[in-house]
């Protein structure tokens, strides 16, 4: 069985008939810690102008950004540009692309005929589920052990204290927050985040009242001039010479406003009409059914 993941996720110039899905936001990009495991807000080594440097290796494996090497379609040393005015068809509105589950050897023809298996659950999620259960039962040492194991596998440095950037002696709430952040990073674009926010009723605290943002690079010189030199640019040294990043709002019209009744779906009217004994879910039209009882 084939699917369109590669086509829908890759830039249109390296896909066929589909594009524009799974574009990481600025908020997602900033969720990844440094290589030391320290959040970017707490690290003196974080450089917002060169935000990709010294990050959690999962950042590089998941996020394609302006000027990074991304050898799609088997093109050796191919560079992904996302700056405004670039000739890329249907460019990313956020300035980023998702690299996860992409078969870089596919030519555009095969991107809408991908045979890459979809992984519904993997061993890391089994471990994360265990860590969450341990934390909820006051077994913080076991939860710490899982988080350290996952961060070690990801390539985060242990540090002199062997904590992989984790805060020591976390409270219950701090540990749960650390686990949910680790899930967000580890399972990015694997279809887990929505359900995590929903099952723990975190939409209001995490999302409501916010808007998503992108980070669009703009050239400081003309595209014609840049085309002449872009193959020889070292973005780690020359990025700010040629680019200035601009924050853009992706949700122009509305802030995110997830209502409490969304946590439990309404029963469709056609089912209510078919079976008179069914009750509508509470907080929906004349609903009386309490899902908790």
Instruction: Note the pLDDT tens digit of each residue in 158-212.
Output: 999 999 999 999 999 999 999 999 999 999 999 999 999 999 999 999 999 999 9
| Residue 39, pLDDT above cutoff 80 | yes
| DSSP 8-state code for residue 65 | -
Q: Distance between CA atoms of 84 and 90, rounded to whole angstroms?
A: 11
Here the tokens at position 13 are 């110039």
258: which 2 tokens? 């997830």
CA 78 to chain centre: 23
CB neighbour class for 171 (10 Å; exposed up to 12, middle 13-18, buried from 19): exposed
Across the chain, mean pLDDT equals: 95
Q: Is pLDDT above 80 for 88? A: no
Q: What secondary structure letter does DSSP report for 289? A: B
Q: What is the Cα–Cα distance from 172 to 92, expressed in whole angstroms?
A: 39
Is residue 291 within 8 Å of 282, Cβ to Cβ? Answer: yes
* pLDDT the model gives residue 89: 62
Mean per-residue pLDDT for 211-222?
96
Backbone angles phi, psi at 15, to 5 degrees: -135, -170
Q: Cα dihedral angle (129, 28, 52, 227), rounded to 10 degrees?
A: 140
The answer to whether residues 267 and 281 touch, using CB atoms and an 8 Å cutoff, is yes
Report percent pLDDT > 70 for the chain.
99
pLDDT for 175 equals 98
Q: How many residues does the chain have?
A: 293
CB count within 10 Å of CB 70 equals 18
Q: Rounded distance, CA 101 to CA 168, Å?
A: 34
Using only the alpha carbons of the chain, give its radius of gyration.
Answer: 22
pLDDT score for 8? 94
pLDDT score, position 84: 86
- What pLDDT is attached to residue 91? 82
Q: What phi-psi label fits residue 249: left (phi over 0), alpha (psi between -120 and 50 degrees) or beta?
A: beta
Name the DSSP letter for residue 263: G
The answer on pLDDT for 218 being more than 80 is yes
Q: State the Cα angle at 50 between 92 and 48, rounded to 5°.
A: 90
- pTM of the complete model: 0.93
């Amino acid at each position: 069985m084939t699917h369109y993941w590669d086509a829908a996720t890759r830039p249109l110039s390296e896909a066929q008939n589909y594009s524009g899905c799974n574009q990481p936001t600025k908020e997602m990009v900033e969720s990844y810690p440094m290589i030391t495991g320290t959040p970017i807000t707490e690290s003196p080594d974080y450089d917002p102008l060169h935000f990709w440097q010294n990050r959690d290796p999962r950042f590089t494996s998941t996020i394609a950004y302006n000027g990074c090497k991304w050898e799609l379609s088997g093109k050796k040393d191919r560079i992904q540009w996302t700056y405004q005015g670039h000739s890329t068809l249907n460019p990313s509105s956020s300035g980023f692309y998702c690299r996860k589950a992409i078969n870089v050897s596919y030519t555009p023809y095969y991107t809408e005929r991908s045979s890459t298996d979809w992984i519904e659950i993997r061993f890391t999620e089994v471990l994360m589920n265990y860590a969450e259960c341990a934390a909820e039962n006051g077994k913080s040492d076991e939860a710490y052990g899982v988080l350290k194991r996952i961060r070690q596998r990801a390539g985060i440095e242990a540090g002199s204290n062997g904590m992989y950037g984790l805060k020591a002696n976390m409270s219950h709430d701090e540990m749960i927050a650390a686990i949910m952040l680790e899930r967000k990073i580890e399972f990015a674009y694997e279809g887990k985040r929505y359900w995590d926010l929903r099952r723990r009723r975190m939409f209001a605290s995490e999302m409501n009242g916010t808007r998503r943002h992108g980070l669009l690079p703009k050239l400081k010189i003309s595209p014609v001039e840049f085309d002449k030199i872009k193959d020889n640019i070292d973005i780690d040294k020359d990025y700010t010479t040629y680019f200035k990043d601009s924050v853009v709002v992706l949700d122009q019209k509305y802030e995110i406003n997830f209502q409490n009744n969304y946590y439990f779906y309404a029963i469709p009217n056609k089912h209510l009409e078919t079976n008179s004994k069914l009750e509508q879910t509470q907080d929906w039209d004349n609903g009386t059914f309490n899902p908790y009882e």
